[in-house]
């Protein structure tokens, strides 16, 4: 059973300090001084190892006190390599990274097949795929053994895409789907209609299906065994579209509230609002749809600081700070700008972020020294871009 924790993340901006301290002290069964110290901390885990229904009740109680509180799952299954044999953990991590990428489903599955082949060509493909899948299973290659790494939904979607691609190839389709190939340096590149990549993808998918059929992982019609649990066992309980649900994004511990947009073979489309009124749409695996929390739950406070990082070693008047907020927005606070001629550097900072982010990174000014840098699950990618932009101020 998945367990959860509840974290106190300070006081809500609209809540009065004295009233919040009094209510929190009563809830925690402590004195006012201890409650005030708890509020002053950036984060404090107040409950661990509880089920989601209990976590929802405790978050609501903290919310009613005037506090920011979040619920986190204590184990991130889709990011874990527990149970994966040591000799194939590097491959398993690469396959997980492919699943979590923002590329199209067709590209993700082509990359996964290529990773399983170790980049081998022609006759070596099937042998490499068979060897790697057996290693993942830790013994004989079986459908249940593959569930150590893949969900049943992902396996079925991978096979379905492989079969669909091969069928289009045999029919001589003029416009093949987006495919992925491997560059000379080992990285992956995408191309539409590239003949070499097309032919390689054909051989990859033929080898993959052949291996799975030989080991009886696939039955008639390339179907997985009927005893495999699809949609993570939630099929009969899935709520209708437009309904609010609790969920976790891939690789994130934070439990959020969102609206179901659509159901697909391997994942679910869910959207949730930001403080600017925009909606973020994410794809999550069925395992990350949380249906055990009851009917009463509350959203992540948008003003809650989920994580922050100080950016040291810059010749700036104050140490810049990056914040990851409750709605997933990343905020850069420069705290104080230079007053000499260096201040002109910051007049077009939004454009500098766009330039260094190659157009995929946007920024907007939200205060005299603060900038909203878009949505993220973690701060790591934003730290890299901010460091590039602020490079002229790096201490030598």
Residue 236 neighbours by CB distance under 10 Å: 6
Q: What is the pLDDT of residue 72?
A: 98
Chain center to CA of 19: 37
d(CA 21, CA 386): 37
For the ranges 54-58, 60-64, 213-217, 338-342, which has the lowest average pLDDT?
338-342
Find out whether 285 and 267 touch, Cβ atoms under 8 Å.
Answer: yes
For the ranges 14-18, 166-170, 186-190, 254-258, which has the lowest average pLDDT?
186-190
Residue given tokens 């990859």 in the structure block = 204
Q: What is the pLDDT of residue 100?
A: 87
Which DSSP category does 239 fall into? P
| pLDDT band at residue 195 under the 50/70/90 scheme | confident
- For residue 247, list its beta bridge partners: 256, 289
- For residue 273, how many C-alpha atoms fall within 13 Å in the half-sphere facing its CB? 7
Q: Model-level pTM?
A: 0.89
Q: From residue 182, how far is each of 110, 120, 190, 196, 316 by CA, in Å? A: 10, 11, 9, 11, 42
Which position has the higher pLDDT, 104 or 130?
130
Tens digit of each residue's pLDDT (9 = 90 or more) over 261-293:
999 999 999 999 988 788 999 999 999 999 999
d(CA 11, CA 16): 8
The residue among 290, 379, 376, 309 whose CA lies nearest residue 71 is 290
Contacts of residues 167-170 at CB distance under 8 Å and 24 or more positions apart, as own/partner, are: 169/198, 169/202
For the ranges 48-57, 189-198, 303-312, 336-345, which has the lowest average pLDDT?
189-198
Is 228 in a helix, a strand, or coil? coil
d(CA 115, CA 119): 7
Tens digit of each residue's pLDDT (9 = 90 or more) over 37-92:
999 999 999 999 999 999 999 999 999 999 999 999 999 999 899 889 999 999 99
pLDDT of 183 higher than 80: no
The residue among 232, 218, 236 whose CA lies nearest residue 160 is 218
Output the average pLDDT for the chain: 91
For the ranges 100-109, 136-145, 346-355, which has the lowest average pLDDT?
100-109
Percent with pLDDT over 90 in the chain: 76
Q: What is the pLDDT of residue 352?
A: 92
Strand 370-375 and strand 305-310: the pairing is: unpaired
Residue 267 neighbours by CB distance under 10 Å: 23
Residue 220 structure tokens: 């008639």
Percent with pLDDT over 70 in the chain: 93
d(CA 72, CA 248): 9
Residue 134 structure tokens: 């057996």
| pLDDT band at residue 176 under the 50/70/90 scheme | low
Find out whether 266 and 105 touch, Cβ atoms under 8 Å.
Answer: yes
């Amino acid at each position: 059973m998945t367990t959860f924790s509840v974290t106190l993340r300070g006081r809500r901006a609209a809540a009065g300090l004295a009233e919040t301290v009094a209510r929190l002290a009563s809830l925690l069964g402590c004195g006012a001084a201890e409650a005030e110290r708890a509020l002053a901390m950036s984060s404090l885990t107040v409950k661990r190892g509880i089920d989601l229904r209990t976590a929802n009740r405790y978050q609501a109680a903290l919310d009613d006190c005037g506090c920011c509180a979040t619920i986190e799952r204590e184990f991130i299954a889709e990011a874990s390599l527990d149970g994966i044999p040591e000799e194939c953990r590097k491959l398993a991590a690469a396959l997980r990274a492919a699943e979590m990428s923002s590329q199209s489903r067709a590209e993700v599955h082509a990359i996964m097949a290529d990773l399983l082949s170790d980049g081998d060509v022609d006759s070596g493909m099937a042998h490499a795929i068979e060897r790697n899948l057996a290693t993942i299973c830790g013994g004989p290659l079986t459908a249940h053994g593959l569930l150590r790494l893949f969900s049943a939904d992902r396996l079925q979607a991978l096979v379905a895409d492989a079969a669909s691609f091969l069928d289009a190839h045999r029919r001589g389709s003029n416009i093949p789907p987006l495919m992925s190939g491997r560059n000379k340096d080992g990285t992956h590149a995408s191309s539409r209609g590239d003949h070499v990549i097309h032919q390689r993808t054909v051989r990859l998918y033929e080898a993959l299906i052949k291996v799975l059929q030989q080991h009886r992982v696939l039955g008639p019609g390339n179907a997985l065994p009927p005893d495999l649990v699809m949609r993570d066992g939630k099929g009969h309980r899935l709520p209708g579209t437009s309904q609010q649900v609790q969920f976790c994004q891939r690789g994130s511990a934070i439990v959020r509230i969102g609206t179901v947009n659509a159901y697909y073979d391997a994942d679910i489309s869910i959207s949730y609002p930001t403080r600017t009124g925009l909606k973020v749409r994410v794809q999550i695996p069925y395992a990350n749809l949380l249906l055990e929390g009851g009917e009463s739950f509350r959203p992540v406070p948008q003003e809650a600081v989920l994580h922050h990082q100080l950016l040291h070693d810059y010749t700036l008047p104050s140490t810049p700070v990056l914040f990851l907020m409750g709605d997933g927005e990343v905020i850069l606070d420069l705290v104080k700008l230079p007053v000499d001629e260096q201040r002109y550097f910051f007049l077009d900072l939004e454009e500098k972020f766009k330039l260094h982010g190659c157009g995929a990174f946007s920024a907007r000014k939200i205060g005299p020294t603060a900038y909203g840098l878009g949505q993220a699950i973690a701060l790591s990618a934003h730290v890299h871009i901010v460091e590039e932009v602020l490079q002229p101020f790096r201490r030598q």
